[in-house]
Amino acid sequence: MERLKADLHTHTADDPFDRLEYSAEMLIDAVAAAGVRVLAITCHELNVYCEYLSDVARRQGVLLVPGIEKFIEGKHVIILNPAPEHLAAHTFQEFRALGRRGAVFIAPHPYYPAPHSLLSDFTRNIDLFDAVEYCSLYFRAVNPNRWAESAAKAHGLPMIGTSDTHWLPYDDSTFSWITAEPTIEGVLDAIRAGRVEVETQPRKIVRAARAVAGALTGLTEEYLLGKRDKDATP
């Protein structure tokens, strides 16, 4: 086994809900330069993983893990290595009926004050989750991850440090060390077994402002698209 630097929650210009200006290839270049060995690109409602991107990453020493940030009853959930059936499901009950099917479910930013955070739906559906995100978007005095840490400890779930990247240059102020074989299944097994350590430090003001601006742009797009779809419903 190896101790692998990992970032399992990122977004690129492929994201259908976030207006971002950098490609998956640019993100792979950036994380490789920062020493990241395991990367998941988790666009909203879109699994961008393909052999081409996997090869691009492999040539730079990065293992690309399939991933997606799904809307489940309007809430964000990260799914690593999703099955085809997961891509078509949209309710907690549907996912419960489908089961893991080799995937790993992560609760992203569960207690952040945002409309798509899980909040009370997290503990209500705790049986669906394999891990909890420690999100990079926080300051020393304001850190919603503390509630996530408490919930994870209470339910025996590991924390996963991620960047939730919406902006370049890449910021690795929060990431994970995963002790695993450098394969997709090896990484997923390590998460299930809790062989994960979070390395984190609070964001600096300027970088945090950029990251928040990117995230808010995405939230605005999600809201407007959701409202448009709702208004179009007979």
What's residue 216's pLDDT? 52
The pLDDT score that the predictor gives to residue 206 is 52
Please spell the DSSP secondary structure of 73-101, one letter per residue.
Answer: TTEEEEEES--HHHHT--SHHHHHHH--T
pLDDT at 209 over 90: no
Q: Percent of the chain scored above 70 by pLDDT?
A: 87
Contact between 210 and 204 under an 8 Å Cβ cutoff? The reply is: no
- Domain positions in the chain: 2-232
pLDDT one-digit tens code per residue, 148-192:
999 999 999 999 999 999 999 999 999 999 999 999 999 999 999
Q: What's the rounded mean pLDDT across residues 67-90?
A: 97
pLDDT tens by residue, 37-50: 999 999 999 999 99
Mean of the pLDDT values across residues 67-91? 97
Q: Buried b / exposed e across 154-167, counting CB within 10 Å, b at 16+?
A: eeebbbbbbbbbbb
First vs last Cα of the chain: how many Å apart?
Answer: 55
pTM exceeds 0.75 for this model: yes
Band (pLDDT 50/70/90 cuts) for residue 228 is: very low
Give the model's pLDDT for residue 215.
55
DSSP β-ladder status, 63-65 and 2-7: unpaired
> Could you say which architecture CATH assigns to the domain 2-232?
Alpha-Beta Barrel (3.20)
Q: Tell me if residue 53 falls in helix, strand or coil.
A: helix
